[in-house]
Amino acid sequence: MQNRVVDEVSLLRRSLHGDSEAWGEIVRRYKEAVFGIALGILRHHADAEDATHDAFIRAYDNLRRYKLEKKFSTWLFAIVANICKNKLRYHRYHPVVSAGHQIEEMAPGFAVIIELEERLRDALTELPVQYRAPLVLHYWNDLTYKEIAEILSTPEGTIKTHIHRAKVALKQKLDQREVIKDASR
């Protein structure tokens, strides 16, 4: 692990000096995690791809501001979280209509899984972003409360409270929709 951190610092230093291959390696290492965060917060594949792309551009443009002694992933995840919050704010005032999946065209067993996933995603989307973002960062990206607090610039105790409230609210939404009962069929 320590070797990977030293290697990462070396890649970041090389990136600062214009080495595009070094930056490409950083992108390869983090693209799945950044996309996972974006998808978890935005719940829309195309928006998550855009946010991922934007996050790496913004990180590269601001790389000189990054302090090498800090954890790079935390800094990068904060960038993508902020981009996602801005996208959500934008979508609140500029709604978009999306065409859903054509579930009938898929294999029946797969269709049930897709439907349950969509119902979970819908319930998650209804949560306020201050609950949704920490939940996604914690459960989908395995970040600690401390890391989430740093990324979202929120006290750690507040993060714990938001995650707890998010789980309660999500369970209520899933119970109301009888998602759990449907899943056991």
- Residues whose CB is less than 8 angstroms from the CB of residue 9 and which lie 6 or more positions away in sequence, other chains included: 68
Given a contact cutoff of 8 angstroms between Cβ atoms, the answer to whether 111 and 67 are in contact is no
Q: Are 130 and 162 in contact (CB under 8 A)?
A: yes
- Domains 1-98 and 100-185 agree in fold: no
pLDDT reading at 79 higher than 90? yes
Give per-residue pLDDT as tens, 109-145: 555 666 777 777 778 888 888 888 898 888 877 789 9
Query: What's the pTM?
Result: 0.62
CATH 1.10.10.10 fits 100-185, yes or no: yes
Q: Compute the distance between CA of residue 76 and CA of residue 137 in angstroms, rounded to an integer.
A: 13
Q: Locate the domains of the chain by residue range.
A: 1-98, 100-185
CATH 1.10.1740.10 fits 1-98, yes or no: yes
